[in-house]
Amino acid sequence: MNTIAEIRPGQSLELLKELHILTRDGKLNQDSRRKLKQVYHLYQFIEPLLEAALAAQHPAAGMTLADHGAGKSYLGFILYDLFLKSRSAGEIIGIETRGELVTHSRELAARLGFARMRFLHLSAEASLASPELPAQVDIVTALHACNTATDDAIRFAFAKQARAIVLVPCCQAEVAATLRQNKNASFGKTSLSELWRHPIHTREFGSQVTNALRCLLLEAHGYQVTVTELVGWEHSMKNELIIGKYTGQPRKNALERIADILDTLNLNELRGRFGLAAEQLGA
């Protein structure tokens, strides 16, 4: 099959090589062809959000997307290449705690000529008040942000009044650890504890509960939530995609639902994490 026919017009071949989607001689093999399909599949969910954010702005202003816990900023580079590169305004900001990855991303953006990409070496806490970031961000993404890094991205999105949030959560360990820690007490509290009695179920159930609570928290802050699967991500079991679109109409019983779930599952020490210690979280 013709490699170029599978790549969208105008895409940076150098970027695709950097992402190991193209081989160094510019070819696609079976594995890289699957990666390219995955990239396009994720992009189809994000593109309408970018279009909506751009349409809501003054033409000269463009839109701002913040990739929180960006790692090597591969998602940001892909979105810039496929969407912003052909437009005259808008920027993508990568936020990352590891300085060497920030340096690498800056060097790659300079090499590719992606002038409207910035990379900030900031902790999750520092990103909330950093003067290097605008007061309002249109879209916040977090791709495979491990454990509580996804929650950091949600908190950041609330603080920046994001129009949309795109999350692919990863390695949700904290809830599972708390379920495990409280297991003996939970046996006497609820028969539902049978759902996480076995270690493998503890991990899986903990992940499910974590993402359900995140969705409720988003709804409590006025986001309409869609949860779907990233088809074809065979290399990772973490293929759940959560998209929140701000409507300004909070779900009235969302916080009550969170409280009830945490109490039923004997997870009350996590109330603060899911917005119950301070209901104005991120406001």
> What local confidence, expressed as pLDDT, does residue 173 receive?
87
- Domain extents in the chain: 36-270
Partners of 121 in beta bridges: 96
> What local confidence, expressed as pLDDT, does residue 212 receive?
96
Interatomic CA distance for residues 151 and 159, integer angstroms? 12
164-170 β-sheet, strand order: 117-121, 91-96, 64-68, 139-146, 164-170, 240-246, 223-229
Topology classification of domain 36-270 = Rossmann fold (3.40.50)
Count of other CB atoms within 10 angstroms of residue 276? 18
Spatial CA neighbour of 265 closest among 201, 170, 222, 169 = 201
pTM: 0.90
Mean pLDDT of 169-195: 92
Q: Per residue in 123-140, pLDDT tens? A: 999 999 999 999 999 999
> What local confidence, expressed as pLDDT, does residue 34 receive?
81
> What local confidence, expressed as pLDDT, does residue 147 receive?
74
> What local confidence, expressed as pLDDT, does residue 232 receive?
58
pLDDT band, very low/low/confident/very high, at 2 (cuts 50, 70, 90): very low
> What local confidence, expressed as pLDDT, does residue 60 receive?
62
**228: part of which helix (H) or strand (E)?**
strand 223-229
Spatial CA neighbour of 138 closest among 61, 60, 70 = 61
Q: How many CA atoms lie within 13 A of 278 on its CB side?
A: 6
Check whether 18 has a pLDDT greater than 70. Answer: yes
Lowest mean pLDDT segment, chosen from 33-37, 78-82, 258-262: 33-37
pLDDT band, very low/low/confident/very high, at 281 (cuts 50, 70, 90): very low
For 134, residues 6+ apart whose C-beta sits below 8 A from its C-beta are 64, 160
Spatial CA neighbour of 141 closest among 67, 90, 77 = 67
> What local confidence, expressed as pLDDT, does residue 84 receive?
95
Check whether 55 has a pLDDT greater than 50. Answer: yes
For the chain, percent of residues with pLDDT exceeding 90: 71
Interatomic CA distance for residues 12 and 8, integer angstroms? 9
Spatial CA neighbour of 84 closest among 60, 42, 51 = 51
Q: Per residue in 62-80, pLDDT tens? A: 899 999 999 999 999 999 9
Which residue reads 């988003």 in tokens?
218
> What local confidence, expressed as pLDDT, does residue 59 receive?
63
Mean pLDDT of 255-265: 96
Q: Which amino acid is at 125?
A: E
Q: Per residue in 106-127, pLDDT tens? A: 999 999 999 999 999 999 999 9
For the chain, percent of residues with pLDDT exceeding 70: 92
Q: Radius of gyration (Cα) for the chain, nearest Å? A: 20
> What local confidence, expressed as pLDDT, does residue 282 receive?
41
Lowest mean pLDDT segment, chosen from 208-217, 220-229, 267-276: 267-276
If phi over 0 gives left and psi between -120 and 50 gives alpha, with beta otherwise, what is residue 50? alpha
